[in-house]
Amino acid sequence: MKAGKPSPATELRESARVKLALARTHAGAFSSACRMLLRCVKSGHKILLFGNGGSAADAQHIATEIVGRFVRERRGLPAIALTTDTSALTSISNDYGFEYVYARQVQALARRGDVVVAISTSGNSPNVLEGIRAARKAGAGIIGMTGASGGAMARMCDTVFTVPSKSTQRVQEAHITIGHILCGAIDESIIS
For residue range 163-182, list pLDDT tens digits in order: 999 999 999 999 999 999 99
DSSP states along 85-124: -HHHHHHHHHHH-GGGTTHHHHHHH--TT-EEEEE-SSS-
Across 66-73, average pLDDT: 93
Stated length of the chain = 192
pLDDT averaged over the chain?
Answer: 96
pLDDT tier for residue 4 given thresholds of 50, 70 and 90: confident
**How many helical (H) and strand (E) elements, i.e. helices and strands, does the chain have?**
7, 5
Instruction: For CA atoms 29, 160, 143, 121, give the dihedral sign.
Output: negative
- The yes-or-no verdict on residue 1 having pLDDT over 60 is no
Q: Is 165 helix (H, G, I), strand (E, B) or coil?
A: coil
pLDDT attached to residue 190: 85
Across 121-145, average pLDDT: 98
Beta-carbon contacts of 47 under 8 Å, excluding residues fewer than 6 positions away, are: 37, 40, 41, 63, 66, 77, 78, 79, 80, 114, 115, 116, 117
pLDDT attached to residue 60: 98
Residues 72 and 183: their CA atoms lie apart, in Å, by 10
Q: Which domains does the chain have, with CATH numbers?
A: 28-189 (3.40.50.10490)
Is 130:97 a contact under the CB 8 Å cutoff? no
- The yes-or-no verdict on residue 192 having pLDDT over 70 is no
Across 68-78, average pLDDT: 93
Across 152-170, average pLDDT: 97
75 phi and psi angles, rounded to 5 deg:
-65, 155
Across 74-92, average pLDDT: 97
Q: Which of 35, 33, 38, 34 is nearest to 190 (CA)?
A: 38
Q: Which of 144, 140, 145, 151 is nearest to 107 (CA)?
A: 140
- The yes-or-no verdict on residue 111 having pLDDT over 90 is yes
pLDDT attached to residue 45: 98
pLDDT attached to residue 98: 97
pLDDT one-digit tens code per residue, 16-33? 999 999 999 999 999 999
Dump strand ranges (E) for the chain: 47-50, 79-81, 115-119, 141-146, 159-162
